[in-house]
Chains A and B, each alone.
Chain A
Amino acid sequence: MWQVADDALVAGMAAGDPDAASAFVERFQRRIFGLALTIVGEPRAAEDVAQEALLRAWRHAAVFDPRRGSVVTWLLTITRNLAIDALRVRRPVAIDPDTLVDLSGAAPGRGPADAAVVTDDVGRLQEALTTLPDEQRRAIVLAGVVGLSAREISERENIPLGTAKTRIRAGLGRLRLAMATEEAAE
């Protein structure tokens, strides 16, 4: 098993190293599949999304720039976009935002290189999310994880469009302040 940093695995893939590509798949498959399944809600479609996400990561490994974000963020963004595209073809589906994300405080596992930092970030975000009013948390999860627009959220939640926008704005603004405050306190 590769015990190297996520960035190094991507660099290895970019250089055409098959061992790096295999290790990359092994390392991230559960996270990618988990996110895809969370969004599309069906294992077969989630598998297609997860496979395409890994292929795209491999194809674009050479242009990955660690200064613009972590490997995990990059990979989950690819997965999320693909899952949202797949979901738009399959809608409507039943989505309960309260069950979509893990707010238990037990952060998902990840690569060894930045595990401590990332786990801490995820834990802080989990904690900050639990402090939001229910309606703001639902709006943030529907927008940030499932990729629903403000209009789609307004229809699902049966609220005016302006209210949906306000909940998104207020919710993400609070999360930003919470994360910034904790960073400043460290």
Chain B
Amino acid sequence: MSGVGCAATRDAAPELALGILDGAERAEVLLHIASCPRCQHYVGELATVADGLARLAPEAEPPAGFARRVQAELRGSRRRARRRWTAGIAAVAAAAAIAAAVIVPAVESGPSAPAAAPVLHSVAMVGGNGVRVGHVAVSNTNPASIVVNVDYSVPDGTYSLVLHAGGGAAHRIGAITIAEGRGQWIGAASVPSRQDATLALSAPGGGWVCQAALNQAQAT
């Protein structure tokens, strides 16, 4: 179980929904809502209201030529992006092949499979406001095969992948780069059996961007 319950989560939910909750408190609340549909729904309702507040800011006319400058920048970015994609095709293809190799045997192992066959759990990677930003697939082997996929709402950049074993213990197992809004990491690590073990993306300046409760599937 996570460190906070529904009551504490509801107390902190408005600050989470407004995007102003930081540090350990934010991590604890995110961990709780990842496994509590009722609190997730509550935070979602608050976030809908909180998101609407930005719409109340008055419109303003930008300086002359603003749209033209942005459109020119977009054209330049499109050319640069095309070059990046060309260079990155081989790397993406290789990563996809490795992911398939990790995931397919595990998916094929259903209830009738031999007991020794690895079983894959997929858990949500949850970001600010309780929004699902991707998922983590983790096998029940030791060390566990781990595939992290992020495909929504996380700003581009490189983040540390930090495994929290609960009770304050944490260690970095790698780094994931988000580019064009997407990122994938494939690797292996010993996942603690504690129910509150989490895997988080940590920003360079500290603080969690999103995280997944690794043993949620086993707990339910």
Contact = CB atoms under 8 A, between A and B. Distances in A.
Interface residues of A, number: 70
Contact of B51 (A63, A69, A141): A69
**Top 9 closest A-B pairs, CB basis?**
A144-B53, A101-B56, A34-B60, A60-B181, A76-B54, A33-B62, A38-B57, A63-B181, A172-B14
Of the candidates B20, B50, B55, B75, the one having the most CB atoms from chain A within 10 angstroms of its own CB is B55
Contact of B45 (A34, A73, A168, A180): A180
Contact of B54 (A144, A172, A173): A144
A32 to B, nearest CB: 8
B143 interface: no
A25 B67 contact: yes
Contacts of A77: 51, 54
Interface in B33-53: 45-46, 48-53
A2 B200 CA distance: 41
B56 A143 contact: no
Contact of B181 (A59, A108, A129, A168): A59
A16 interface: yes
B156 A34 contact: no
Contact of A103 (B46, B56, B182): B56
Nearest to A69: B51
A29 B75 contact: no
Contacts of B28: none
B69 A51 contact: yes
B52 A122 contact: yes
B18 A176 contact: no
B56 A145 contact: yes
A122 B59 contact: no
